[in-house]
Amino acid sequence: MKTLTPKAFASSGFRIVPLPTNVAEEARQAAQSGAADHVVIEVDSANGYPCRHCLRWAQPGERVILFPYAAIPAGHPYSETGPIFVHAERCDRYDATREYPEDFRNGRALRAYDARYNMVDAEVVNEGEPEQVIAKLFQNPKTEFLDARSVTRGCFTFRICRA
């Protein structure tokens, strides 16, 4: 991996896809109405509760909603629903979509999927250079998108598409 500098690839190669705003809003409404699978949590650590909508760590004193999200929809061999957090209060959707989110430069695994949601590859982001891992995974023409997940707990964090 030497040809493409992170900055050059960041400006041309990929697009960050945070959780859609309507999904975050629906989770907030479900939590308010007392849905059993939507739990409001008081944040007690500075890097344990990543908000999938603004793509920042929720901070102590803030509240988040924990709920299940189908990152890979039902009906496929790799279908997967798992727990994610969003801020309980309204937050701004991450909009620097051509830049890898700074809060998650470490501690993520990137899973590559093809257009039919089959997992075709996966790599752990090490040394804080996710752009190089993204470039490498997108060199496979079968790769349609990447999902960034927690390397420890496996939870979906955000999607990365080709630019």
Which residues here bind Zn ion, judged by CB under 5 A?
A: 51, 53-54, 87, 91
Closest approach, Cβ 43 to Zn ion, in A, equals 11
Residue with smaller CB distance to Zn ion, 28 or 53: 53
Between CA 92 and CA 21 the distance in angstroms is 9
Q: Which of 58, 63, 51 is nearest to 156 (CA)?
A: 51
Residue with smaller CB distance to Zn ion, 51 or 109: 51
Residue with smaller CB distance to Zn ion, 52 or 111: 52
How many CA atoms lie within 13 Å of 16's alpha carbon, on the beta-carbon side? 24
Closest approach, Cβ 147 to Zn ion, in A, equals 19
Closest approach, Cβ 70 to Zn ion, in A, equals 20
